Amino acid sequence: MSATIDTSQGLRFASGDAPTPAEDLGQRLEQLNAIGASLSAERDINRLLEAILTAAKTITRADGGTLYRVTEERTLRFEIMRTSSLKYYLGGTTGNPIPFYPIQLYRDGKPNHSMVAAYAALTGKTVNIADAYTADGFDFSGTRAFDSKTGYRSKSFLTVPMRNHEREIIGVLQLINAQDPHSGEIVAFSPSDQRLAESLASQAAIALTNRMLINQLEQLFESFINLINSAIDEKSPYTGGHCQRVPQLTMMLAEAVNETREGPLSEFQMSEKDRYELKIAGLLHDCGKVTTPVHVVDKATKLETIYDRVHLIDTRFEVLKRDLEIEALRNHVDEQKLRNRLRELEDDRKFLHACNVGGERMRDEDVARVRRIAEYRWRDVSGHEAKFLTDDEVRNLTIRAGTLTEDERKIINHHIVATIRMLEALPWPRHLTKVPEYAGGHHERMDGKGYPKGLTREQMSVQARCMGIADIFEALTAKDRPYKKGKTLSESLEILGRMKLNNHIDPDLFDIFVRRRIYRRYAEMFLDPEQIDAVDESRIPGYTP
């Protein structure tokens, strides 16, 4: 959320009469309190710094000002510069860099007390100067050079150190040229101006320190999440990209829903906190995969464990061929008959290789052929006769779709249970309490036939339903899986459309996904050119353009 500090109208009074000094101070104190509350709500550092300087200029009626921050290199870095009469706006959100070198706090190892801003930072004392051109003890040559170049006349200066709750000086607030509220003339900053500026500087320093601390904690938290995803990536290169792409696609769809102003999802809205919460959930949606065995996650073929066991079957075929040839020599078998049988064995070997690769569908006749081959007899190195294929090999080779057995699929599916358990065990702050629900719902279905909780559409948030579509679309189009090629856009949207008709995914979200061309924007970011084919939206099942 961004703070809004309204200083455009200056200080207002109930009557048209000039205020008394007491009334003036009272109203400026009220404004100071309002400013303090607004500063605490600002999340963006640049806007916060800008708000601090703008507020200080307003309550002291200063024409110009500069905000410096203390750096680790023991300098004062120019952050924001504003001079209203010159329309001189540098730093902060303006995009205009400040062309001045940082002020050194020490020169030759000695404190730099000649520069007024450095003096305030080093001593923690406020400096109030009526006229810089006649003041003694400070070097204002840079100020004179600025005035000479711009035609400005820098006169009164109020330089206030910014001290946080730990009594550290973290910056300096410098205000220039206080203006008389009646005549507009440049005057010295009054004692009340100084007290108000000091109070604001103190509040601002605490707000700035708190925001920097929160930002650092958020960066640490996100870095830790990325560390988990990197661990998954190192464990399996086939899922690491998934952990990064699903959050982005989820946010793209959620933003499109947020912008929708008609239809059943028109009331859905996200604040900045909501966005951050969904982003974190997206990054953590598969964190439970750290518990999934690598040989299951990376199972590229049906017979793969630590290695692909299809090569053991190749060896058995060679043994069968050798035994046939020996038998033929002993019994004078017809050569053509031998060649035919050897050709059959080679065809069977190639067939099992094809079965081992896995696919989307295995026919009944293919399953029957595997079982027939399994009944061949062969002799191992010990001379023992055995079935050609073990029960485990038959079970794997007859997998109907993909490369996973039912037990292995349960192991894969367990990752979402592990994800929910891990996330629900964390003491989430109030603005992140929904992370487990968002992250844990992407394998549920709208008809309640999903897992792990069997939730229906009505029991799920829009965010969790967005993540469900993102997870499926990413998996369909992913080009880095060991067991399949990434599908084209038209193929993926056809499958998603059927899922909509089968009450698997949210129908309203799917319509927005297609209507707003989310699929196209995602494809341009992550898919290979050959996957980005022409899409005829009128042919997508369940979608009406």
Would you state the pLDDT for residue 341?
87
Would you state the pLDDT for residue 132?
95
DSSP annotation of 71: -
Would you state the pLDDT for residue 22?
60
CB 512 within 8 A of CB 253: yes
For residue 450, is it left (φ>0), alpha (ψ between -120 and 50) or beta?
beta
The count of other CB atoms within 10 Å of the CB of residue 247 is: 24
Would you state the pLDDT for residue 26?
61
Reference 402, options 294, 302, 308; nearest CA is 302
Same domain (yes/no): 65, 186: yes
Residue 323 lies in a domain: yes
Same domain (yes/no): 318, 351: yes
CA distances in angstroms from 19 to 22, 24, 62, listed in the order given: 8, 6, 19
We report the CATH number of the domain holding residue 485 as 1.10.3210.10
Same domain (yes/no): 271, 312: no
Residue 202 lies in a domain: yes
CA dihedral of 314, 317, 321, 323, whole degrees rounded to 10: 120
Would you state the pLDDT for residue 365?
93
Would you state the pLDDT for residue 2?
40
Would you state the pLDDT for residue 279?
94
Dist. CA 532–CA 152, nearest whole Å: 60
CB 126 within 8 A of CB 158: yes
Let me know if 95 is exposed, middle or buried by CB neighbors in 10 A (0-12, 13-18, 19+): exposed
CA angle 270, 275, 277 (to 5 degrees): 120
Helical H segments across 358-461, by residue range: 364-374, 391-397, 406-424, 435-440
Residue 544 lies in a domain: no
Same domain (yes/no): 398, 412: no
DSSP tally for the chain: helices H, then strands E: 18, 12
- Decide which of 380, 403, 426 is a domain's last residue: 403
Same domain (yes/no): 135, 198: yes
Same domain (yes/no): 474, 503: yes
We report the CATH number of the domain holding residue 197 as 3.30.450.40
Dist. CA 299–CA 305, nearest whole Å: 7
Same domain (yes/no): 430, 471: yes
Residue 13 lies in a domain: no
For residue 358, is it left (φ>0), alpha (ψ between -120 and 50) or beta?
left
The beta strands (E) that lie in 56-136 are given as 62-70, 75-83, 88-91, 103-104, 106-107, 110-111, 127-129
Residue 225 lies in a domain: no
Residue 16 lies in a domain: no
Dist. CA 539–CA 93, nearest whole Å: 47
Dist. CA 406–CA 396, nearest whole Å: 10
Same domain (yes/no): 115, 242: no
Would you state the pLDDT for residue 382?
76
Task: Enter the tokens of residue 113.
Answer: 């007390």
Would you state the pLDDT for residue 31?
64
Would you state the pLDDT for residue 67?
93
Dist. CA 37–CA 35, nearest whole Å: 5
Same domain (yes/no): 425, 282: yes
Would you state the pLDDT for residue 33?
60
- Decide which of 375, 403, 431 is a domain's last residue: 403
Same domain (yes/no): 180, 201: yes
Dist. CA 399–CA 301, nearest whole Å: 11
> 393 CB contacts (<8 Å, ≥6 apart)?
303, 309, 313, 374
What are the backbone dihedrals phi and psi of residue 523, each rounded to the nearest 5 degrees, phi first?
A: -60, -40
Same domain (yes/no): 27, 120: yes
Would you state the pLDDT for residue 470?
96
When divided into structural domains, the chain yields a total of 3
Would you state the pLDDT for residue 7?
41
Residue 467 lies in a domain: yes
Residue 178 lies in a domain: yes
3 state DSSP class of 77: strand
Would you state the pLDDT for residue 286?
86
Q: What is the 3-state secondary structure (H, E, C) of 195-242?
A: HHHHHHHHHHHHHHHHHHHHHHHHHHHHHHHHHHHHHHHHHCHHHHHH
Same domain (yes/no): 373, 440: no
Helix axes 462-477, 237-258, angle to 10 degrees: 130
pLDDT 10s per residue in the chain (545 long)? 343 344 433 443 333 455 666 656 566 666 666 666 566 666 778 888 888 888 889 889 999 999 999 999 999 999 999 999 999 999 988 888 999 999 999 998 999 999 999 999 999 999 999 999 999 899 999 999 999 999 999 999 999 999 988 889 999 999 999 999 888 899 999 999 999 899 888 888 888 888 888 888 888 988 988 888 777 777 766 665 788 899 999 999 999 999 999 999 999 999 999 999 999 999 999 888 887 777 676 676 777 776 778 888 888 888 888 888 888 888 777 888 888 889 999 999 999 998 888 766 788 999 999 999 999 988 877 778 888 998 988 888 888 887 777 887 787 778 888 889 999 999 999 999 999 999 999 999 999 999 899 999 999 999 999 999 999 999 899 876 655 678 999 999 999 999 999 999 999 999 999 999 999 999 999 999 999 999 999 999 999 88
Reference 270, options 419, 427, 434; nearest CA is 434
Query: How large is the C-alpha radius of gyration of the chain?
Result: 36
Question: 515 is in which domain, residue-wise?
Answer: 236-292+407-539
Dist. CA 369–CA 351, nearest whole Å: 9
How is 293-319 classified by DSSP, letter by letter?
Answer: -HHHHT--STTBSSSBTHHHHHHHHHH
